[in-house]
């Protein structure tokens, strides 16, 4: 009989003091101890549930805290409340339809969910180098606008939790401007399914670049308000400095990424270290801080919004020189249904497109029908292409068995990984500091419970 490695010598469950309790109060147990250790065991430690709540967690996150007075002695995360089943659902949809599912995971940065998934599909298809330049520039533009909107929500909700209500109101005020641009370009404020295998769904609408230009000019006036309100504010700094401390060694041990990692002074950003979508052609700086605390993470995000504005400005200038250029690969099997011709009623295909299909041969019509109902086939294989989302490294492991649907799609979401730091950031601090530490991680539970 082989021994159990998990229950060998030294792993006895009856090590130390063991209590057999039959429903009595803890006080009666400690008072009944005859060996004089009652005071040691009867310390006033209480286990409380914090949450689930929405502010600062963007979803349902329950924290199990063991507290002694106001001090947190142990902190654990209780996750798994959303049960979206997105990854499993993607196995029953075509490769293009998968975009509609994964965009809903981290709902504060939907374009990044779409981007990493589409990158994997394009690598399996072998068309990575065939993506039109205009589609690549539009992807960068949308992702950086999305980074700004996501960081605004992080700063706004985090400020609300510590009583900085002005930060919350102006944060959501600016986010609305970004969502207006998303609605103009994609037709939706959130969950866009706009980035498709082979490019993007459609070209920029008339006047979009002018509105983006106006947005950039306005944000350059608005962003300094955050610095004026928070950067040197003694109350704001008092709540954030030294709170949620996690140094570089701890970040690397836990697999942390994003602003949490860069707040330790380590300039790790996939846009620079592993460029994708042409990021190597844009001028921007990786923002770091050296305090390893919540205040440093706030400053990193604030500075990153400035860098994102720089990238958006460069992308918009490039798009002005790409008027009329294609936004989807030339291969019609991939381009349809990734790029639909929308009718005047906003539904389905235009009548002209339908007449064109119906006017061809019967074989072409049958081929088109199969392409519409089943989608295109992707060669067997697997791919993982990460991107730098607002919260850190977001990657999709896409597996194909050669069919028209993903065999498996699994996402490495930074919110899930970064939540590991909850304990080390919170234990030993005050209850009020737990909120600040969690807010500095900026977890989105839609990405955690996929």
All domains of the chain in start order, with CATH? 86-448 (1.10.645.10)
Residue 67 pLDDT > 70: yes
Q: Is the pTM of this model over 0.75?
A: yes
**How is residue 178 written in tokens?**
């970004």
Give the whole-angstrom CA distance, residue 241 versus residue 331: 54
Across the strands, what pairs with 196? 199
* Cα-based torsion angle of the residue sequence 174, 178, 183, 186 in order, rounded to the nearest 10 degrees: -170
Could you report the per-residue pLDDT of 155-177, keeping only the tens digit for each? 888 888 887 788 888 888 889 99
**Average pLDDT score, the chain:** 83
Q: How confident is the model at residue 38 (pLDDT cuts 50, 70, 90)?
A: very low
Q: Are 36 and 48 in contact (CB under 8 A)?
A: no
pLDDT-derived band at 396 (thresholds 50, 70, 90) equals very high
The alpha carbon of 232 is separated from its chain's Cα centroid by a whole number of angstroms, namely: 29
111/330: higher pLDDT: 111
Rounded Cα gap, residues 284 and 178, in angstroms: 20
Beta-ladder partners of 78? 62
Average pLDDT rounded to a whole number, residues 280-305: 90
| pLDDT single digits (tens) 168-217 | 888 888 899 999 999 998 888 888 888 999 889 888 888 899 999 999 99
* DSSP 8-state symbol, 279: G
Tokens standing for 13?
């469950």
Q: How confident is the model at residue 324 (pLDDT cuts 50, 70, 90)?
A: confident
């Amino acid at each position: 009989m082989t021994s159990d490695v998990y229950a060998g010598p030294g792993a006895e469950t009856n090590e130390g003091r063991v209590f057999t309790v039959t429903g009595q109060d803890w006080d009666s147990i400690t008072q009944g101890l005859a060996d004089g250790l009652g005071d040691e065991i009867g310390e006033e430690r209480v286990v409380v549930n914090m949450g689930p709540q929405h502010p600062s967690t963007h979803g349902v996150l329950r924290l199990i805290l063991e507290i002694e007075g106001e001090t947190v002695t142990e902190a654990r995360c209780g996750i798994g409340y959303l049960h979206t089943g997105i990854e499993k659902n993607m196995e029953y949809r075509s490769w293009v339809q998968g975009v509609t599912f994964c965009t809903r995971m981290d709902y504060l940065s939907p374009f990044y969910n779409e981007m990493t998934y589409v990158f994997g599909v394009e690598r399996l298809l072998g068309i990575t180098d065939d993506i039109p330049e205009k589609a690549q520039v539009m992807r960068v533009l949308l992702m950086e606008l999305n980074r700004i909107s996501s960081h605004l929500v992080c700063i706004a909700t985090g400020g609300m939790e510590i009583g900085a209500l002005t930060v919350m109101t102006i944060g959501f005020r600016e986010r609305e401007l970004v969502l207006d641009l998303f609605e103009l370009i994609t037709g939706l404020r959130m969950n866009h399914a706009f980035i498709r295998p082979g490019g993007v769904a459609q070209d920029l609408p008339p006047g979009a670049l002018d509105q983006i230009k106006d947005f950039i000019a306005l944000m350059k006036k608005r962003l300094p308000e955050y610095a004026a309100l928070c950067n040197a504010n003694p109350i704001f700094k008092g709540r954030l400095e030294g709170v949620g401390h996690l140094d570089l060694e701890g970040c690397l041990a836990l697999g942390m990424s994003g602003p949490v990692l860069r707040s330790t002074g380590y300039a790790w950003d996939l846009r620079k270290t592993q460029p994708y979508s042409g990021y190597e052609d844009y001028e921007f700086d990786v923002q770091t801080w050296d305090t390893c605390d919540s205040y440093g993470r706030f400053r990193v995000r604030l500075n990153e919004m400035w860098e994102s504005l720089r990238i958006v400005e460069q992308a918009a200038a490039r798009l002005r020189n790409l008027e009329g250029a294609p936004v989807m690969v030339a291969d019609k099997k991939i381009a349809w249904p990734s790029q639909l011709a929308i009718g005047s009623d906003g539904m389905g295909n235009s009548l002209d497109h339908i007449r064109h299909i119906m006017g061809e041969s019967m074989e072409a019509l049958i081929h088109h029908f199969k392409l519409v109902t089943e989608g295109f086939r992707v060669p067997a294989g697997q791919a993982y292409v990460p991107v730098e989302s607002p919260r850190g490294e977001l990657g999709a492991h896409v597996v194909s068995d050669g069919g028209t649907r993903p065999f498996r799609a699994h996402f490495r979401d930074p919110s899930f990984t970064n939540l590991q730091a909850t304990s080390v950031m919170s234990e030993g601090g005050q209850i009020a500091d737990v909120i600040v530490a969690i807010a500095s991680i900026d977890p989105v539970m839609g990405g955690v419970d996929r």
